[in-house]
Structure 1
Amino acid sequence: MKVYFCGSIRGGRDDVHVYRRIVQKLQSYGSVLTEHVSCSELTDRVIVAEVTQPSLGVGYELGRAVDMKKKILCLFRPSSGRRLSAMIRGAEDGEMFTLKDYTEEEVEKVLEEFFNNLNRT
């Protein structure tokens, strides 16, 4: 399986250690593609985005993924003290667009649950 992971680049790199942890876990499910925001096309089956750090680039990528009918998992850490965009929170439909609030300690478990459910469908 190919997984496209996106996280903030220009909006801030404060969460790079969290991104690294997420990517390491995602690698157990398949190839993690590390395209940059300038990628003109998303062609993968699953999109995983860490959305705690606000990023216009990630928002754009998510919009393209929705348009292309890709399965999406957004990860948000409420402990950051940030507020998640109402547009992202409201996009959750339980089928193609999933949003999970998580803590750093449980990120692997959240990913396992998502991919185990994905593999059953």
Structure 2
Amino acid sequence: MKIYFSGSIRGGQQDTNLYAELIQELKQYGTVLTEHIGSKTIDTTISDKEIHDRDVKWVKESDIVIAEVTVPSLGVGYEIGRAIDMNKPIICLYRVLNGKTTSAMIRGCSDLQCFEYSNVAEAKEILKKQLKTT
């Protein structure tokens, strides 16, 4: 299975370590096309267009999209929208922080499976359960 993992990069990298742990978990279910999301280093050698085209290609190639949507990100929202148009299965994970939850546009979309979690162990359990049924 090819997995496209999406998480905020330019919108804020405070969850990079969490992304790395989730990516490591996802590797037991298939190939994660976007392992770089778990890195604190942003590749500045490629243009915005190259990033866009590469990532859209990966979304097309993927069998499933997993998005961590706690940190708001235009890019993640864009990727989710494109994946919906491509009829990809999409799982969104989010935490409630300081009383703030994720967008109603995400949680209210019937094309997505959205799951709230409190810690990485809980997120891994959600992924385990969902990926066994996908």
- Superposition TM-score, scaled by structure 1 size: 0.88
Trace 1:35-114 onto structure 2 (pairs within 5 A). 38=52, 39-41=55-57, 42-43=59-60, 44-79=62-97, 81-91=99-109, 93=110, 96-104=111-119, 105-114=121-130
Aligned-pair CA distance for 1:17: 1.0
Q: Kindly indicate which of the two structures has a greater share of residues assigned to strand.
A: 1
How many residues were matched structurally? 115
Mark the CA change 1:63 to 1:102 in structure 2 (over 3 Å): closer, same or farther: same
Amino acid at match of 1:51: V
- In structure 2, the residue matched to 1:8 is 8
Provide structure 2 residue ranges, at least 5 long, that are not aligned to the other structure: 38-50
- Taking the aligned partners of 1:5 and 1:23, their CA distance within structure 2 comes to 7
* Distance in 1 of aligned mates of 2:98 and 2:31: 29
- Alpha carbons of structure 1 residues 40 and 21: separation in structure 2 relative to 1, 3 Å: same
Stretch moving more, 98-107 or 80-89: 80-89
Alpha-carbon shift at residue 113 of structure 1 (Å):
0.6
Give CA deviations for 1:23-68 in whole Å, capped at 9, x if unaligned: 0100000000017852233221100000000000000000000000
Could you tell me how far apart the structure 1 residues matched to 2:90 and 2:76 are? 12
What are the ranges of 5 or more consecutive residues in structure 1 without an aligned counterpart?
none
Shift in alpha-carbon separation, 1:6–1:77, aligned structure 2, 3 A: same
- Supply the distance in 1 between the matched residues of 2:8 and 2:98 (Cα, whole angstroms): 14
State the 4+ residue runs in structure 1 displaced beyond 4 angstroms.
Answer: none
The 10-residue stretch of structure 1 (35-44 or 50-59) with the greater mean CA deviation from structure 2: 35-44
Instruction: Give 2:7's aligned amino acid.
Output: G
Q: CA deviation at 1:111?
A: 0.5
Q: Which has the larger radius of gyration?
A: 2
